[in-house]
A and B are shown apart, each in its own frame.
Chain A
Amino acid sequence: MRKIHPKVEEAVDTLDLNPVTRRRLLAGTGLASASLAATALLAGCGEDQPAAKGAGNYPVTPRWKFVFVCHVTAHPFFTPTQYGIADACALLNCDYQWTGSQNSVVAEMVNATNAGVSAKADGIAVAVIDARAFNGPVNAALDAGIPVVSYNADGEPNNPGTNRLAYIGQPLYDSGRSLGEQLIATGFNGGEVVCFIATPGSLNIQPRSDGARDVLKESGVSHTFTQIATGTDLPAELNAIEAYLQGHANIKAALAVDGGSTDALGKTVAKLKLKDKGVIAGGFDLQPGTLESVKGGSLDYTIDQQPYLQGFLPVMALYLYKLSGGLVSPCDTNTSLSFVTKENVAQFQDVKTRFEGSDTAQKIVPRSGGIPHK
Chain B
Amino acid sequence: MTAPTTTPRRLVRRGVDEFLRFREASILLVTIALVVYFQTATPVFLTEGNLVTISHYVAPVAIIAAGQVLLLVSGEIDLSVGHMYALAPFLMLYGMNSGLPVLPAIALALAAGAAVGLVNGLVTVVLGVPSFVTTLGMLFLLSGITLVTSNAYPAPIPDGARGVSGWLGGGPWAEIIWAIAIVVVFQIVLSRTRWGLHTVAVGGNAHGASEAGVRVRNIKIGNFMITSLLGAFTGILEAFRITSIEPLAGGSGIMFAAVAAAVIGGTALAGGSGTIVGAFLGAVVLGVLRDGFNLIGISANRFDLILGAAILIAMVLNVYLARLRTRGAV
Q: Which residues of A line the B interface, CB within 8 A?
A: 31-32, 34-36, 38-39, 42, 47, 65, 67, 70, 73-74, 95-100, 102-108, 110-112, 114-120, 130-133, 135-136, 199-203, 206
Contacts and interface: CB of A to CB of B under 8 A. Distances in A.
Interface string B144-179: 000100111110110000000000000000000000
The secondary-structure label for the interface of chain B is helix
Contact of B251 (A73, A103, A199): A103
Given A98-B301, A99-B299, A130-B246, A114 B56 contact: yes
A111 B147 CA distance: 24
B299 A34 contact: no
Contact of A115 (B53, B156, B248): B53
A111 B53 contact: yes
Given A39-B41, A111-B290, A97 B238 contact: no
Contact of A31 (B30, B298, B299): B30
Contacts of A70: 300
A104 B248 CA distance: 7
A38 B295 contact: no
Nearest to A86: B299
B42 A105 contact: no
A35 B152 contact: no
Given A31-B29, A117-B49, A133-B246, A107 B44 contact: no
A102 B300 contact: yes
A363 B61 CA distance: 45
B276 interface: no
Contacts of B153: 201-203, 206
Contacts, number: 142
A119 B242 contact: no
A96 B49 CA distance: 21
A343 to B, nearest CB: 36
B193 interface: no
B-side interface size class: 35 or more
Contacts of A100: 300
Nearest to A110: B242
Contacts of A96: 299
Given A99-B300, A105-B253, A111-B291, A201 B243 contact: no
A112 B50 CA distance: 11
14 contacts: A34-B309, A105-B248, A106-B248, A107-B56, A111-B56, A111-B290, A114-B56, A115-B291, A115-B294, A120-B44, A130-B154, A131-B154, A132-B157, A206-B153
Q: Name which of B150, B238, B294, B303 has the most chain A CB atoms within 10 A of its CB.
A: B294
Contact of B295 (A118, A199, A206): A118
B50 A118 contact: yes
B296 interface: yes
B231 interface: no
Contacts of A105: 246, 248-251, 253-254
Contacts of B41: 39
B249 A106 contact: yes
Contacts of A133: 154, 242-244, 246
Contacts of A107: 56, 60, 238, 241-242, 246, 249
A103 B304 CA distance: 14
B123 interface: no
Interface in B1-38: 29-30, 33-34, 36-37
Contact of A99 (B34, B56, B294): B294
A87 to B, nearest CB: 15
Interface string B46-67: 0101101100110010000000
A119 B297 contact: yes
A118 B253 CA distance: 24
Interface in B129-152: 147, 150-152
Contact of A119 (B42, B301, B302): B42
A194 B302 CA distance: 41
Nearest to A95: B297
Contacts of A130: 154, 242, 244, 246
Nearest to A161: B244
Contact of B156 (A32, A73, A116, A132): A132
B53 A118 contact: yes
A114 B290 CA distance: 12
Given A39-B41, A111-B53, A119-B294, A201 B151 contact: yes
Contacts of A47: 297
A206 B151 CA distance: 11
